[in-house]
Structure 1
Amino acid sequence: MTDRRRRSDTPSAAALPDREVRDVQRRLLDHLKHGIGKDAGDATPHDWYMVTARTVRDLLVETWIDSLRQADHSDAKRIYYLSLEFLIGRSLKANVLSTGVLDVTCAALAVLGQDLDAIAEQEPEAALGNGGLGRLAACFIDSMATVGIPGMGYGIHYHHGMFGQVIENGEQREMPENWLARGNPWEFARPEVAYPIRFGGHTVEYRDQDGRPRRHWEGGEEVIATAYDLPIPGFGAWTVNNIRLWDAKASKGFDLARFNRGDYIEAVREASASETIAQVLYPDDSTSQGKELRFKQEYFFAAASLRDILRRFLKRHGDLARLPEKVAVQLNDTHPSVAVPELMRLLMDEHRLPWGEAWEICVGTFAYTNHTLLPEALETWPVALFERLLPRHLEIIYEINARFLDDVRHRFPGEHDLARRVSLIAEEPEKRVRMAHLAFVGSHKVNGVARLHTDLMRAGIFSDLHRLFPDRIVNRTNGITPRRWLNQANPGLSGLITARIGEAWKTDLERLRELMPLAEEEGFRAAVMAEKREAKERLSRWLAHRISGPLDPSSLFDVQVKRIHEYKRQLLNVLHVIHRYNRLWAGDDVAPRTVLIAGKAAPGYAMAKAIIRLINDVADVINRDPATRDALKLVFVPDYNVSVAERIMPAADLSQQISTAGTEASGTGNMKLALNGALTIGTRDGANIEIAEEVGEENLFFFGLSAGDVERMTREGYDPKVFVASNPALARVLDMISDGYFSPSDPGRHRPIIESLTSGGDRYMLCADFAAYLEAQDKAERLFVDDPDDWTRRSILTIARMGKFSADGVVMDYAREIWGVQPTHPAGALHVA
């Protein structure tokens, strides 16, 4: 087959050379015959997915091997991204687009009576993540390959990804999501890459041949980490990187003697217990067993990854002092923080380096990305758990802490409380290891993911550590890949943009600024408006199979899609919906609106699940009411994932980013929706502020308290009842929920939610922001209804000014300022005729 991987201007199918179409057709049939064992007449839709994926994978492998060879030959510094989540989504369409074989693949399949879009629907969701953190990791691996940075992601080969969400009687139910049940054609098993990972046991002190004291960890149980590789191509397939996922295998297999004695359960118990480590993403940690499994997962993947990194480094370099020169390890949140004591253990216990040299290597190698401002979300683990499962690591953590606190006391004599606050060990109410502190002290750079978030890190959760290390905290505002979130998710709009300004925007998002003059063109506005209408109709057809009742594509599509959490304030959205319902009943002139909410609640998060139940109860009443259902629809879209997001985001008119100011680290859903032309209604939180600076504050609908207001009101004593008493509309909405209007069969069902907003203190200040939120919603509605042409003009300007939020540019900033590497392909240099 002619190499089309680096062609970005693929011709129409009619213009394709017959030999290219025939070659792809031959490859498809060859995989069908020799890989599936069928001929075309017997192939199922899933068979066609498997053979199409393997055909595209063949192209990836060629470039992948070239990329690895080139990186080895150049001895380039490698970047390793450790993340407990990689929210990859489906791969077929993404890889077809990246390799530049869309047209030829479609044409070859058409000859065989098949359709690529229908085949792509057969692919299960690679649900290896939960939300923004996991999707950020996936975007970064894509961007690293696109800009030419050799590197790998490391995670866990979960057999069951993020749970499947079904709604039964309005409640979330979690279902196993066995995405590997029929195999994964994109992955390569690497059984030869296997490392024993120890849990438990004890440490032994001895003296080496030079008489120096040493420590050795032994005993306990071992689990074998085995590797699976997923190739991730950059756009244009210049470079292919990969994500290496670790599966867990028992170190001891089937116990035949016990089996022969009839003890069948015990014969496989050890193997089954070992392999649970890789079974489920985010086990329910509301139980002690769930907590222990989560702890084991974090160490398992961090330890296997570091062993693999050192093996690769030592193949070419004998001097471990050069590790920071040739290796950068990015810790994506606190989940891999245990890598800090693990690297120290490897360097000291296995490679015999002295403490000072090992610590210098460790700090020079690691960098840490913080993703939360909520103190309760900063991960801590009981010292007792470390004592039982990782005794050597606890010794190392204690030593890190002792040396660190000695330095603090030396630099700040007399400030005894400072040492307590920055200690890696929290003493009360029980001894716990502060994993964020461990990552901070063990890294040379710590970054926030939006400017406000970073400022609040310096002033808030890490203020003491910032005082000790004033140059360590830096900002790197998050980004998204335009290939997935515009080119793939919204092909109609993408094609319209490309037709007017060319393809360069796909790898240089700043080129979208060339759209700005087109915002003043009536014809272009009409074309964009038509594409939005088509996206809304497409989403409506898809949802028709999942919900009862049609949607009105001419209504304002008001969208909030993200993990369900109190601070993200889906509840504030629902309060507004009920208020609109009341206005409709009062005869007010309220424009048609479709409110779409999607997201999953953590299995053990009772309040988040209660909010989902309320959303569905409210929807059940409103959507059935003949007096209002034509003007207001509330839809909870179940089982939100990447593929569902790709359907919803192109159709959104209004993007709800309404977290309490000072709680959202950044957000990336806000970026994806804006890139697809949705206007934002939101608080001055996370990356909303920087989006406004780019697209123009006049093109957003800001409302509510600032982070400073929230801090001041909390300090002075916030009383939500004051705001309820002064706002009859809010009081009425709360009374309706509390009195069971939306749950007549169980009137008290939602009272705990109302109590959390009133007597419970309303921690996230919904009552304080309610009036301002309504005002902003009314302002957005007036613009949408009274001047749709101006709405579209603002939408185009929003798209045009989103260049700052490309993951490509963010990754290049990481490369230069945190990792110390130079990308092979600068942004905008990938365009080939």
Structure 2
Amino acid sequence: MLNDAVLTGRRRDETSRDAAEAPRSWMPQPAPAVPAGDDVTVMRTAILAKLAYALGKTPATARDRDWFVATALALRDRAVAASAISAGIVPPKRVHYLSLEFLIGRLLSDAMGNLGVAETVRAALAGLDVDLEAVAGAEPDAALGNGGLGRLAACFMESMASLAIPAYGYGIRYDHGLFRQVIEDGVQREVPETWLAEGNPWEFERAEAACEVGFGGDVAMSVQPDGTLRRVWRPAETVRAVPYDTPVIGRGAKHVNALRLWAARAPEAIDLARFNAGDHVGAVAERARAEAISRVLYPSDGTPAGQELRLRQEFFFTSASLQDLVRRHVAERGDLRSLPDHAAIQLNDTHPAIAVPELMRLLVDVHGLSWEDAWHVTTQTLGYTNHTLMPEALETWPVELMERLLPRHMQIIYLINWMHLEEVSKHGSSPEHLAEVSLIDESHGKRVRMGHLAFLGARRVNGVSALHTELMRQTVFAPLHALDTDKIVNKTNGITFRRWLHNANPGLTALAVEAVGAKVLDDPRHLEGLAAFADDSAFQARYAAVRRERKEALARVVEERTGIALDPDALFDVQIKRIHEYKRQLLNILETVALYQAIKAEPHRDWTPRVKLFAGKAAPSYHQAKLIIRLASDVAKRVNADPDVAGRLTVAFVPNYSVSLAESIIPAADLSEQISTAGLEASGTGNMKLALNGALTIGTLDGANIEIKDHVGPDNIFIFGLDAAGVQRVQAQPGYASRAIAASARLRGALDMIAAGGFSPGEPGRFRPLVDELTHGDRFLLTADFDDYWRAQREVDAAWRRPKTWWKSAILNTARTAWFSSDRTMREYAEEIWRVRVG
């Protein structure tokens, strides 16, 4: 079948709806050498074999999707071959990374880059008259995350593989990840993201490693053969957890880890007795209930049923993961008392915090360890990463729900809490202090504090930026920190440069390689050598040309998605992140309105041309966030239609933000909006990606912005607004919002225009909830920071008009952000938290 006629067959001219997002080049090297003919032939033959024997297609009938699957399967074979080198070797210690989110996006570029076959694949497909970009665009985004948390987990997994740290990632194989966002007349509508509609060629189903996860039921006492009593949980319901493994390929394919995602299945697919009795729907009801667990990422918890499903999801993947790693340890090592010596378990936020009582249950109830031994094993094996300082974002669960859904775990939590409070009481604590450190919050009904639980059960608790870590010690965990001042440590987040520079911005990567050598591909610290070229006019011109090329590509994507034309010569001002009030997209919109009014007032002034780009999703039940999206869309509609501002200001909200869309936006951005209320953004990673690609940051002294400022230098970043201490001072002053509005004519004018229906003439009161929130509360201090934000934006305008200064700063941003590599972060975790060898 694989004859010359097949080798030269032509495909049908079909392209994916997302093909425009695919990077224009996948090879992170300048002018790559033509691959050896034998390599290309071998790759082409492998792809054609997969097309024929795995898909049953010929080149004449294959769609772009078919070529993608065939290519992915051929590359997966190479990953398996690479991982087979270490097959059967038991590493001294493994990392087990538990995360409810893994925002992996498309994997083809990662696989080709880390296997070192990008140009080989390109040439192999080109010989079949198949375009690699169209093939890459046919891969759906695996939207298994909401934003930074999930993307961070994906970066960490790739870095661990590149550093040869043996690891498993554990999460949920959602049938539908984060929803696909559709904007209709400015209104967000959520539709299912069907990334599995045609299967996933990267994964392996591991049905033989399935396990059962229980819910509900009761707890009984059992007499053991030695006469001891043991509690036995008798679940009323069991769900089968089926693992699917996706290879995570490290740089150079020297090491391959696995991302193990769990799918929920009913123990029995159908109740035949009910079906044959005529109850055809009821016969599959239990299956529907079980499979709902892995159906959708973050189901709304606005109802009791939704809240229960959230808890079921968290326990489902945590229990399955712990059962899996315990089973593996027993098979390899035998004695579970040695688990801390051979396994590190990292809890990514509070979602898997139920691991503390579940690991205790497995050790005590199932494997017969004493409570003392089990507690030692648990607290020496678990680590907990905190990602938020907002008390409402630290999960708590009603005790009643926990007792009903996880009765044995609630018993264990009560016992942990009793022993904990007994120990604290020895030091003469007051009732108020005991209430602060208790695992049970009784201030508004009894609720289990999952952050406290994770804190007590972990050997180390880490923040994700220097500021965030210090604020953890001072605020949300201050009472617990006082009991153990060595437990909280800092590990500032990082990003994988292989995805966010090499793959997303091949032109800039090629320029860096040409300037300082190919060593930058293996060690991002060598990017620092670019600083020597920051004042070089010729290098600046080439750097600016790379940016211009990426801006032109992004303009095509934006026009395709929104119908809005962008001027690549304008300053691209970008805010791309989850829509949330504390991230303050509304502050950006207010400044946009004020700028629009200023241009209207002085249309003949020489304004700096600016494009305002917004992208991000709002949680389905987050009404204020959805209203912010609608305001951004309505502002865009009016501004873009006004001839008075044409060529000076353009606004666009780009729908359905995803990893692939980020890969198009980030290399094209000139200005990076990182404007959260100081003290509320734990770290951020978008700020790192944008700075790495040469965007200058306008931001508050929040999260990792502080460390970015320290690394790139204060002259190469635009800082405004209150710091974390200033935020606390202002929030303590009643009426600060009304005073700020009264003192700022620009802010008052923008708010008045919005409130009067200037952007919603058919519904003047549409945005009244947003205006009322600012005038009567303003929890996130937009009014307090507005004037300084306006000042900083005008500094940006002036800097853009000095190209030599601007491009020097951009180059220094790229050169000096090497420290923010997730390779560095993973080394720190490995050495200081997990105590595992690198390489």
TM over 0.5: yes
Question: Structure 1 runs of 4+ off > 6 angstroms?
Answer: 8-14
Would the aligned equivalents of 2:30 and 2:511 in 1 still touch at CA under 8 Å?
A: no
Whole-angstrom distance in 2 between the partners of 1:181 and 1:716: 54
Displacement after TM superposition at 1:10 (Å): 8.0
Whole-angstrom distance in 1 between the partners of 2:835 and 2:524: 23
Would the aligned equivalents of 2:28 and 2:113 in 1 still touch at CA under 8 Å?
A: no
What's the counterpart of residue 551 of structure 1? 566
What's the counterpart of residue 50 of structure 1? 69
What's the counterpart of residue 298 of structure 1? 314
Would the aligned equivalents of 1:12 and 1:103 in 2 still touch at CA under 8 Å?
A: no
Would the aligned equivalents of 2:28 and 2:509 in 1 still touch at CA under 8 Å?
A: no
Would the aligned equivalents of 2:558 and 2:564 in 1 still touch at CA under 8 Å?
A: no
Partner of 2:248: helix, strand, or coil?
strand
Whole-angstrom distance in 1 between the partners of 2:814 and 2:95: 31
Displacement after TM superposition at 1:16 (Å): 2.6
Would the aligned equivalents of 2:28 and 2:506 in 1 still touch at CA under 8 Å?
A: no
What's the counterpart of residue 727 of structure 2? 710
Task: Output the amino acid matched with 1:384.
Answer: E
What's the counterpart of residue 273 of structure 2? 257
What's the counterpart of residue 59 of structure 1? 78
Partner of 1:87: helix, strand, or coil?
coil
5 Å matches for 1:215-614? 215-411=231-427, 413-587=428-602, 588-614=605-631
Whole-angstrom distance in 2 between the partners of 1:560 and 1:747: 27
Would the aligned equivalents of 2:564 and 2:652 in 1 still touch at CA under 8 Å?
A: no
Deviations 1:620-667 (A, max 9, x none): 111111111321111101000100000000000000000000000000
Partner of 2:461: helix, strand, or coil?
strand
Would the aligned equivalents of 1:10 and 1:103 in 2 still touch at CA under 8 Å?
A: no
What's the counterpart of residue 177 of structure 1? 193
What's the counterpart of residue 655 of structure 1? 672
Whole-angstrom distance in 2 between the partners of 1:294 and 1:164: 20
Whole-angstrom distance in 2 between the partners of 1:271 and 1:368: 33
Displacement after TM superposition at 1:507 (Å): 3.0
Would the aligned equivalents of 2:578 and 2:616 in 1 still touch at CA under 8 Å?
A: yes
Normalised to the residue count of structure 1, the TM-score between the two structures is 0.96
Deviations 1:88-139 (A, max 9, x none): 0100111101100011111111110011111000000011101000000000
Whole-angstrom distance in 1 between the partners of 2:30 and 2:549: 25
| 1:619–1:19 distance in 2 versus 1, CA, 3 Å | same
Displacement after TM superposition at 1:712 (Å): 1.5
What's the counterpart of residue 5 of structure 1? none
Partner of 2:209: helix, strand, or coil?
strand
Displacement after TM superposition at 1:745 (Å): 0.5
Whole-angstrom distance in 1 between the partners of 2:28 and 2:232: 59
Would the aligned equivalents of 1:366 and 1:444 in 2 still touch at CA under 8 Å?
A: yes
Whole-angstrom distance in 2 between the partners of 1:44 and 1:518: 45
Partner of 2:520: helix, strand, or coil?
helix
Partner of 2:562: helix, strand, or coil?
coil
Match 1:21 to one of 40, 49, 57: 40
Displacement after TM superposition at 1:219 (Å): 3.5
Deviations 1:747-772 (A, max 9, x none): 0000000000011x100000000000
Displacement after TM superposition at 1:517 (Å): 0.7
5 Å matches for 1:119-138? 119-138=135-154
Would the aligned equivalents of 1:567 and 1:663 in 2 still touch at CA under 8 Å?
A: yes
Displacement after TM superposition at 1:65 (Å): 2.4
Question: Relative to structure 2, which stretch is displaced further, 663-672 or 509-518?
Answer: 509-518
Task: Output the amino acid matched with 1:697.
Answer: P
Would the aligned equivalents of 2:101 and 2:149 in 1 still touch at CA under 8 Å?
A: yes
Partner of 2:732: helix, strand, or coil?
helix
Whole-angstrom distance in 2 between the partners of 1:309 and 1:654: 44
| 1:112–1:12 distance in 2 versus 1, CA, 3 Å | farther
| 1:406–1:142 distance in 2 versus 1, CA, 3 Å | same
Task: Output the amino acid matched with 1:615.
Answer: A
Whole-angstrom distance in 1 between the partners of 2:827 and 2:86: 18
What's the counterpart of residue 725 of structure 1? 742
Gapped runs of 5+ residues in structure 1?
1-7, 825-833
Displacement after TM superposition at 1:501 (Å): 1.2
Task: Output the amino acid matched with 1:228.
Answer: Y
What's the counterpart of residue 809 of structure 1? 824
Task: Output the amino acid matched with 2:821.
Answer: S
Whole-angstrom distance in 1 between the partners of 2:34 and 2:646: 49
Whole-angstrom distance in 2 between the partners of 1:93 and 1:338: 35
Displacement after TM superposition at 1:44 (Å): 1.3
Whole-angstrom distance in 1 between the partners of 2:63 and 2:733: 65
Question: Relative to structure 2, which stretch is displaced further, 343-352 or 497-506?
Answer: 497-506
Would the aligned equivalents of 1:200 and 1:388 in 2 still touch at CA under 8 Å?
A: yes
Deviations 1:153-174 (A, max 9, x none): 0000100011000001101000
Partner of 2:501: helix, strand, or coil?
helix
Whole-angstrom distance in 1 between the partners of 2:440 and 2:121: 57
Displacement after TM superposition at 1:15 (Å): 3.6
Deviations 1:654-710 (A, max 9, x none): 000000000000000000000000000000000000000001011110000010011
Is residue 771 of structure 2 the alignment partner of residue 754 of structure 1? yes
Partner of 2:88: helix, strand, or coil?
helix
Displacement after TM superposition at 1:328 (Å): 0.1
Displacement after TM superposition at 1:212 (Å): 2.3
5 Å matches for 1:646-685? 646-685=663-702
Whole-angstrom distance in 2 between the partners of 1:640 and 1:341: 37
Task: Output the amino acid matched with 1:599.
Answer: G
| 1:259–1:598 distance in 2 versus 1, CA, 3 Å | same
Is residue 79 of structure 2 the alignment partner of residue 79 of structure 1? no
| 1:124–1:414 distance in 2 versus 1, CA, 3 Å | closer
Whole-angstrom distance in 2 between the partners of 1:105 and 1:271: 42
Deviations 1:297-320 (A, max 9, x none): 000000000000001111111211
| 1:796–1:219 distance in 2 versus 1, CA, 3 Å | closer
Would the aligned equivalents of 1:11 and 1:103 in 2 still touch at CA under 8 Å?
A: no
What's the counterpart of residue 831 of structure 1? none
Task: Output the amino acid matched with 2:544.
Answer: M
Displacement after TM superposition at 1:414 (Å): 4.1
Gapped runs of 5+ residues in structure 2?
1-26
Task: Output the amino acid matched with 2:383.
Answer: A
What's the counterpart of residue 5 of structure 2? none
Task: Output the amino acid matched with 1:153.
Answer: G
Whole-angstrom distance in 2 between the partners of 1:131 and 1:17: 40
Task: Output the amino acid matched with 2:825.
Answer: V
Deviations 1:47-68 (A, max 9, x none): 1111111111111111122244
| 1:173–1:11 distance in 2 versus 1, CA, 3 Å | closer
Whole-angstrom distance in 1 between the partners of 2:719 and 2:208: 55
Match 1:197 to one of 213, 219, 228: 213
Task: Output the amino acid matched with 1:380.
Answer: T
| 1:68–1:634 distance in 2 versus 1, CA, 3 Å | farther
Whole-angstrom distance in 2 between the partners of 1:368 and 1:139: 18
Displacement after TM superposition at 1:334 (Å): 0.1
Would the aligned equivalents of 1:340 and 1:442 in 2 still touch at CA under 8 Å?
A: yes
